[in-house]
Amino acid sequence: MLKALSSVARASAHPCRNLTLVLTLTLTLTLTLQKADKHITPELCHKRWDTIVRNPVVKGPWSSEEDRIVRELVARHGSGGTCWMLMNKKGLPQRTAKQIRERWLNHLAPDINKDPWTQEEDLVLCAAHRHFGGSYAEFARLLLPGRPENNIKNRLNKLLASDPVHCWLEVRV
C-alpha cells in the first residue's frame, strides 16, 4: 500500500499542489496504518509521507561505492552511539541509519569472522541455545566473538530446521 502511494506521489510533478490528492492519500495511509497501530495520527502520517516523497529509500543490494562510503564514514566518525544518523545525513541519504548500521555490523566491520561455520561452533551454538534460549546478542558477545548476531540467528535457525534433534542432544565429551 505504502509503495503504491509513494509511486503515485513521485509520478505527479508537484504532489503538494494537488491538495485533494495529498489529503486523500494521507487519510488512506493513516487509516491503513491505524489498523496496525492506534497511536498514528494524520500529522505523523503526513510527516512520513513528506519524508518518503522527498527522500526515497533504496532497498536491495549495496553497491561497492556505498560500501566504500560507509567504511570512510566509520573511519571518520566511529561506529558507536548516534553516529549512524550522522552518516545517513552526510554520506548516504538514500539509505536509512538502520540500514547503514546493519551493513557495517553484519558485513563490513573488519573483525567479522566470515569463515565457514565449524562443527565446534555449531556445538557451542546448540548448547547455548539449550541453556539460554534465543539471546543472539549474548551468544555473539560471549561465546562466538567475531560472528555477528544476525549470522548467529540465521545459523541457529538453519540448524534447528535441518536437524532439530541435533541441537537438543546433550553433548558429552
pLDDT at position 7 is: 54
Residues of the chain with pLDDT under 70: 1-27, 29-40, 52, 54-55, 166, 168-173
CB 97, CB 87: distance < 8 Å: yes
> And the C-alpha cell for 118?
565449524
- Report residue 165 CA to chain centroid gap: 31
pLDDT at position 172 is: 47
CB 1, CB 29: distance < 8 Å: yes
Q: Rounded distance, CA 43 to CA 46, Å?
A: 5
pLDDT at position 112 is: 92
CB-based burial of residue 118 (10 Å sphere; 0-12 exposed, 13-18 middle, 19+ buried)? exposed
- Dump the DSSP string for the chain: -HHHHHHHHHHSS-TTT-HHHHHHHHHHHHHHHHHH-TT--HHHHHHHHHHHHHSPPP-SPPPHHHHHHHHHHHHHH-SSTTHHHHHHHHT-TTS-HHHHHHHIIIII-TT---SPPPHHHHHHHHHHHHHH-S-HHHIIIIISTTS-HHHHHHHHHHHHHH-HHHHHSPP--
pLDDT at position 92 is: 84
- Report residue 26 CA to chain centroid gap: 26
pTM score of the predicted model: 0.63
pLDDT at position 116 is: 94
